[in-house]
Chains A and B, each alone.
Chain A
Amino acid sequence: MDAEAAKLIGAGLAAIGAGMAALGVGNVFGSFLESALRNPGAADGQQGRLFIGFAAAELLGLLAFVVSMILIFVA
């Protein structure tokens, strides 16, 4: 396998990370909604924490995107 092909395969493998981040973000919002429906009164106060969790989960997916971009264009 030459180096160019290995780079593209690596970039494709990095895209798995985007799917994993999708699981994470879905889990954050899903769990929030589940518990918000149990106790709607407390839901509004937790929105800040919701977005902190969202940001943390999303960052890792974006890092996967960065890895694939680096592999394609920079490395």
Chain B
Amino acid sequence: MHQFTIEPLFGTDHWAIGGYNIAFTNSALWMVLATVVIWGFVALGMKRQLVPGRWQMAVETMTGFIDNLLSANVGPEGKRFVPYVFSLFMFILVANLMGLVPLGLVGSHAFTFTSHFTATGVLAIMSFSIVLIVGFWRHKLHFFSLFVPHGTPWWLLWLIPIIEMVSFLVRPFSLGLRLFVAMMAGHILLEVLSSFVINSGNAGAGWGVLIGIPSFILMIGISALELLVCVIQAYVFALLTSLYINDAVNLH
């Protein structure tokens, strides 16, 4: 489908380092745009007034939200991870929302880079490596006691660590997969519904009224649902990251 294709904007397929293409793609463009939007959003709220204005209030609400999330899930140690989780949350949130902007009305089209496993996979690997680094840094080899929960009966000691290890190793995949599939499924759903509208309109006025108009109304509802999904998926990514960081910081 056209909206998911990655194409080089400038640079060609021949720009390569070590066999990997480094051309500036539309995916990279939208990542840069997301970064610029977040940077602008935060920079406009950095006036540090004693009585915050509206914009500063908005920024403080977002940072306060992540701060609460981490102190609730990790405890006082979580303060240190606020910058990372905040950037992660805002990056995913802004990327999801910008992918839904109906630029098709003006002839261009938005690109949701979170609907590609390469992008979400790298974000998930970043979270996972932070968990590994922090875990091994703080607890050294004692970190492996994560695989033996408290109160494991001795006759299950051969089984529980295997299950725990598999569930630990599967985390980066489930983290990246969830975001990527949720975004892709939403966009495919909208595309299918819009093809109903267009094809039924082309088939004649009767079909257009019978199928096109109900599909269009459904599309409006699904778009609202997609906005909700964007926020929930960004929140879930940040929440699960903070839970995994909790495992690394406090063991369990």
How far, in whole Å, are A65 and B181 apart by their CA atoms in the complex? 8
The answer to whether the Cβ of A62 comes within 8 Å of any Cβ in the partner chain is yes
User: How many interface residues does chain A have, given as a range?
Assistant: 10 to 19
Q: Are B177 and A48 in contact (CB under 8 A)?
A: no
Given contacts A59-B178, A62-B178, A62-B182, contact A51 B72 (CB under 8 A): no
Chain A residues with CB below 8 A from B73, complex form: 48
Residue from B69, B72, B174, B235 within 8 A of A59 (CB atoms): B174
How far is B178's CA from A58's CA once the two chains are assembled, in angstroms? 8
Assess whether B177 is in contact with A63, with CB atoms less than 8 Å apart: yes
In the complex, B232 has a CB within 8 A of chain A: yes
Residues of chain A with a CB closer than 8 A to B243's CB? 52
Residues of B close to A55: CB separation below 8 A: 178, 236, 239-240
User: How many angstroms between the C-alpha atoms of A51 and B243 in the bound complex?
Assistant: 12
B185 within 8 A of A: yes
Q: A48-B73, A65-B185 are in contact. Are A54 and B177 (CB under 8 A)?
A: no
Map CB proximity to B onto A42-75 as digits: 1 under 8 Å, 0 otherwise.
Answer: 0000001001101100110011011000000000
- Least Cβ–Cβ distance between B19 and chain A, in angstroms: 23
Q: Are B185 and A51 in contact (CB under 8 A)?
A: no
B174 A48 Cβ-Cβ under 8 A: no
Collect the chain A residues with CB atoms within 8 Å of residue B174's CB. 59
Complex CA gap A51/B178 in Å reads 13
Instruction: Offer 25 A-B interface pairs, CB within 8 angstroms, sorted by A.
Output: A48-B69, A48-B73, A48-B239, A51-B232, A51-B235, A51-B236, A51-B239, A52-B239, A52-B240, A54-B232, A54-B236, A55-B178, A55-B239, A55-B240, A58-B182, A59-B174, A59-B177, A59-B178, A62-B177, A62-B182, A62-B185, A63-B181, A65-B181, A65-B185, A66-B181
